[in-house]
Amino acid sequence: MAYSCGDGEDGNDSNRTPQPEDSGPTTFDSQLTPAERSALSSSLDKLETIEINGNRIKGFTKIFGGATSADVINYFNTRVHYFISEATDYTTRLVPASLVPVRRLEVFASNPSVFIWYEAKYNEPEDLRFQLNNEQLEINSSRIGVMQVGDIFNQSDVITQAITLVHEARHSDCTGGALASDIQNFHDNGTIENKKCGYLHGFCPLAGSCDVIPWGAYAIDVIYSLAISETCTSCTEAEKQSAEANALQFINNAYELSATVNGEFGDPDMSSSNTVR
Amino acid sequence: MKKKNVYLLSLSLLIISTVFFLGKRLSNTAHMENTGQERTYASTTKAYTPQRMTEKPDVKNKTKNQLSTITKKDLKDLRDTFPDQNKVKEEVSNNPHSTPKSLTIFANKMGPLMEKAYNQKSDAQLLAGELINCANDKSVALSARALCASNMEKLSKVHPTVNAKINIDPEVQQLLNKKKSFLVE
């Protein structure tokens, strides 16, 4: 097994096309169902148009780089570029197929971006790509940004959908780069140690799935939800109630959120690296 | 002679009674003419229709229903959507990335009622009763109970007479306080 480490501080490999950091509008896979397309269109629209003031929620501007929906869209577009259906086994989209073990990954992931990247790194110097529509996409980092949606997403109200998009986007970040041992372990169905690559959830006895590090996906999810419930001026009361219910549900799934927003763990690192160490 | 006398007596009585009744009518007509109104006297033989008796309307309740737009059905429907804590746990377990469905159904049912309650004190008072039930019901998911308690606080700010000082379960209060700690004052 051979894999390469990235070059330079940002890990850019001069032989590969850098992953776009801000590619603008996302691409829908041809196999998305009409319901999935419709849900995505309306939730992306809501994400863009909702009027909120992040200055009134602790941690918001540090996460999103600003206080408005334009900043949230920028955060999102940097991390998610492609949508595929929940019914699509993303491993079947990795080409050439001969490089990918014939097994169904049991890891539940609505954003499998980091796992797609791990497979690509594992197979280097072979060039593994991701097939979407008529293109074979290069896989240069966890910010390839492939997100899956399905029935649960489709059946949720648009505010819950928008919050889910923001939550899932965080899973595209691999802060500090990947561990070589994790790439091997992932391939071998072993334990992944570095949770910061993909901001992977752990298991908490009372809350179930949870963040195990500060500023994880649940933290961002809750902070965004509170911005909606407490500051939205374009929302219906039902939308605000939905957002507040979400925040109350997942506050305890975030890692020590009070201490986090009060600075005890420093500011959030919103960067991502494709280095391997 | 006697026959003649009887005849004369009868005739006299007839004339007298005719004059009497005719005179009374003329007198009344004259009175009516004096008042400038024309009226038709109802015949005393007209059929009598007894007045239909109805209960005196409960003015208080009628007024209350006219003002409030939240109905008993609305409150029952809301109660029916209180998310059960075990059901919510199961939903989270099945999909940890999204708000539990029963919680969003509850929140979406709550929304329009809160709008009405913000706009009208009587609605706020009606809804408050249900919010208190929700906040204190240990079978309801904690997040939903906290949402109910939060809504009570919001309503009491808009309508100060809606009493928000209720005994809230410490666990619910803790969650509510945690949420509030993220708000910039």
> Roughly how many angstroms between the first and final C-alpha of chain B, as a whole number?
125
What pLDDT, on the 0 to 100 scale, is given for residue B155? 94
**Please, are residues B140 and B134 in contact by the beta-carbon 8 Å criterion?**
yes
Q: How far is B62 from chain A (nearest CA, A)?
A: 29
pTM of the predicted protein model: 0.80
Amino acid at B22: L
The interface predicted TM-score (ipTM) is 0.85
Say how far apart CA B178 and CA B164 lie, in whole Å.
Answer: 18
Of A47, A21, A93, A17, the closest CA to residue A273 belongs to: A21
Task: Report how far residue A221's alpha carbon sits from residue B5's, in angstroms, rounded to the nearest whole number.
Answer: 122
- Read off the pLDDT of residues A108-156 as tens digits, 9 standing for 90 and up: 558 999 999 999 999 999 999 999 999 999 999 999 999 999 888 998 9
The ranges of chain B with pLDDT < 50 are: 28-66
Average pLDDT, chain A: 88
Torsion angles phi and psi, residue A100, rounded to 5: -105, 125
Give the pLDDT of residue A148.
Answer: 94
Do the Cβ atoms of A269 and A175 come closer than 8 Å? yes
pLDDT digits (tens, 9 = 90+) for B2-25: 677 777 877 777 777 766 656 555
Which stretches of A99-157 are DSSP H helices?
113-122, 151-155
Six token digits for residue B108: 């979406």
Peptide bond into A125 cis (omega under 30): yes
Interface test with B, best of A61, A229, A241, A244 (most B CBs within 10 A): A241
Chain B closest-CA separation from residue A39 CA (Å): 14
B115 touching A (Cβ < 8 Å): yes
Burial class of residue A259 (count of CB atoms within 10 Å of its CB; 0-12, 13-18, 19+): exposed
Model pLDDT, residue A24:
61
**Is the separation of the CB atoms in A191 and A185 below 8 Å?**
yes
| Gap from A254 CA to chain B (nearest CA, Å) | 12
B75 and chain A in contact, CB less than 8 A: no
Strand partners, A174: A197
Q: How far apart are CA A24 and CA A77, in angstroms?
A: 6
Give the closest residue to B160 by CA, choosing from B130, B121, B129: B121
B91, B96, B101, B102 alpha-carbon torsion, rounded to 10°: 50
A237/B118 touch (CB, cutoff 8 Å), yes or no: yes
Cβ distance A57 to B184 less than 8 Å, yes or no, reads yes
